[in-house]
Structure 1
Amino acid sequence: MPLSRQRTELKAFLRARRAALTPEAAGLPRGARRLTPGLRREEVASLAGVGITWYTWLEQGRAINVSAAALSRIARALRLSPVDEAYLFALAGVPHAEPQARRQLVLPPALPGLLELYQAPAFVLDPVFDVLAYNRAADRLYDFGAAQGPLARNHLWNAFMNPARRRLYAPCFEPGVLNLLGIFRLNHAAHPDDPRFEALIDALAAASPEFVALWERQEVAPLRSWTAHFAHPDFGELRMHSMRLPIRDGKADGATAFFFVPQDEATAASFARMAARREAAAGEPEPA
């Protein structure tokens, strides 16, 4: 393809993909004055962690220096499929290494049933903090299905970007998320080839200055019990110990089960009410 045609195709491709991605799908608020359904250039630049001028020139097809790392961040910001990402690299004239296949975690078949037998909240996260399984009590605590967007099932993304989750964590937000970030940082070091870590870090850095400030503290946290203090709109003040148990079961290695244990009688009573609601809703479909 002639260079001029290649740049024209690059310009058209980026504009089309930007126009096709809604703010909600990118985890951004729509706002009241938006005239077009897609993302603005400055929003893509922010999500990708690149300068607005540089991104504008790229989208205009200008002859500029383009790195593979910057293109990868743009591909993640635009939620491109692997095929679309390879096409973007080809149009930009940048070599594109094939991503390594990520091992899919497979939970033991009995684990969801075990979680449901536990009356207090319990759930399972993979190393990048995507929610893999949970019981009804955990769903009543976190309302897992309420969030939307490509990172809706990520526990860390919700901690910073989900207003309802922020209100839940309000009594001790900073200590709680520092603990999460510490575990996440250890997981990242243990899985250097999983691109989802960098994608999540880039997305949070673009969307939350608070995340940047806390992430730059460089704190790590061991896998241990931790005392949590939540404020739930239905169940009031909750104080509990969070027991974290790594799953060692072949295809599930790397996942962690979280079990909440009430710290006081008031929290135990709240958990009992959650269990009572679970029994009353026994006819509801099982959570995914």
Structure 2
Amino acid sequence: MEHSRQRTELKAFLRTRRAALPPEAVGLSRGARRLTPGLRREEVAALANVGITWYTWLEQGRAINVSAAALTRIAQALQLSATDEAYLFHLAGLPHAEPVTRRIVLPPSLQGLLDLYQAPAFVIDPVFDVLAFNAMADRLYRFDDFDGRFARNHLWNAFMNPLRRELYAPSYEPGLLNLLGVFRMSHAAHPDDPRFDVLIDALSEASPLFVDLWQRHEVSPLRAWSAHFNHPEFGEIRVHSNRFPLRDGKADGAVVFFFVPEDEATTQSFARMTECLREEEGTTAA
């Protein structure tokens, strides 16, 4: 565990998960003198068959040797989900994540694919900077309507852009938690990318809501997510948000988002959006 922020996050993550696991869930009696809502450190150590001193040091974020076998037993003792277990391994440096210090280069054909797709689609890098998008995604998010240091950052806009807050209003907090969960997984997988620290520090200073939600230590895998928007021009929009990581050499680390209409009303909204874009293109050409 080479990185101080990783150790700090590991400490908070283990404490949070330990406090959230009631003793009854692992067959232990709560007893009359228990002061903690969840398991004690010595109980986790016993369940995982590791030394109490070693586990205490691990939970304190000390720089100690950690084996995959011991970490697996701890994950089992804390009844972590597969996603949480993967996140724990990332935080502990097992396996060691490849640093992302290079600039992502998208394949030239990708923009053509986004443009052909008849619904919003866009691409972000590991720190959630928007790299590419189609016209429908731009009509939904208005990528260039917000300025400043993090103007093209999807996470920063979610917390700091008032227009995004209105757009996400129908499911604002659940949507933010899902977004933070994916971001946290990406952060753990790229511990050497300094842009994460810069963004997290900036959001921590600017948004009390970010601090509150970030401290919940939620993690989310790359999976489909049902998103609900309230667009000022096209009304309620419900989509399945499908995320696909790119595996194309210089583009490794980028993720493509494809939105799929969840209901007929959204399909009709996207049809109207497409028609509006065509009319605007025709006006511009004339």
Question: TM-score category by the smaller chain?
Answer: 0.5 to 0.7
Q: TM-score, normalised by structure 1?
A: 0.63
The answer for the alignment partner of 2:156 in structure 1 is 157
Equivalent AA in structure 1 for residue 146 of structure 2: A
Equivalent AA in structure 2 for residue 136 of structure 1: A
The answer for the alignment partner of 1:222 in structure 2 is 221
SS of structure 2 residue aligned to 1:241 = strand
Equivalent AA in structure 1 for residue 249 of structure 2: G
8 A Cα contact 2:100 2:190, kept in partner: no
- Deviations, residues 116-135 of structure 1 (Å, cap 9, x unaligned): 00110000000000000000
Alpha-carbon distance in 1 for matches of 2:278, 2:231: 20
Distance 1:254 1:284, change over 3 A: farther
8 A Cα contact 2:168 2:230, kept in partner: yes
Equivalent AA in structure 1 for residue 209 of structure 2: E
Equivalent AA in structure 1 for residue 229 of structure 2: F
Q: Give structure 1 regions of 4+ aligned residues with deviation exceeding 6 angstroms.
A: none
SS of structure 1 residue aligned to 2:247 = coil
The answer for the alignment partner of 1:250 in structure 2 is 249
Alpha-carbon distance in 2 for matches of 1:219, 1:147: 27
Q: TM-score, normalised by structure 2?
A: 0.63
The answer for the alignment partner of 2:211 in structure 1 is 212
Gaps of 5+ in 2: 1-98
8 A Cα contact 2:107 2:251, kept in partner: yes
Q: Does 1:199 align with 2:206?
A: no
The answer for the alignment partner of 1:271 in structure 2 is 270
The answer for the alignment partner of 1:5 in structure 2 is none
- Deviations, residues 179-216 of structure 1 (Å, cap 9, x unaligned): 01000000001100000000000000000000000000
The answer for the alignment partner of 1:176 in structure 2 is 175
The answer for the alignment partner of 2:56 in structure 1 is none
Q: Does 1:144 align with 2:143?
A: yes
Alpha-carbon distance in 1 for matches of 2:258, 2:275: 18
Measure how far apart 1:281 and its partner are: 2.7
Alpha-carbon distance in 2 for matches of 1:272, 1:247: 28
Measure how far apart 1:171 and its partner are: 0.3
SS of structure 1 residue aligned to 2:242 = strand
The answer for the alignment partner of 1:23 in structure 2 is none
Distance 1:149 1:274, change over 3 A: same
SS of structure 1 residue aligned to 2:168 = helix
When the two structures are aligned, how many residues end up with a matched partner? 186
Report sequence identity in percent: 68
- Deviations, residues 84-139 of structure 1 (Å, cap 9, x unaligned): xxxxxxxxxxxxxxxx9920000000001110001100000000000000000000
Alpha-carbon distance in 2 for matches of 1:233, 1:183: 27
Measure how far apart 1:284 and its partner are: 8.5
SS of structure 1 residue aligned to 2:144 = helix
Measure how far apart 1:280 and its partner are: 1.9
- Deviations, residues 242-263 of structure 1 (Å, cap 9, x unaligned): 0101111100000000000000
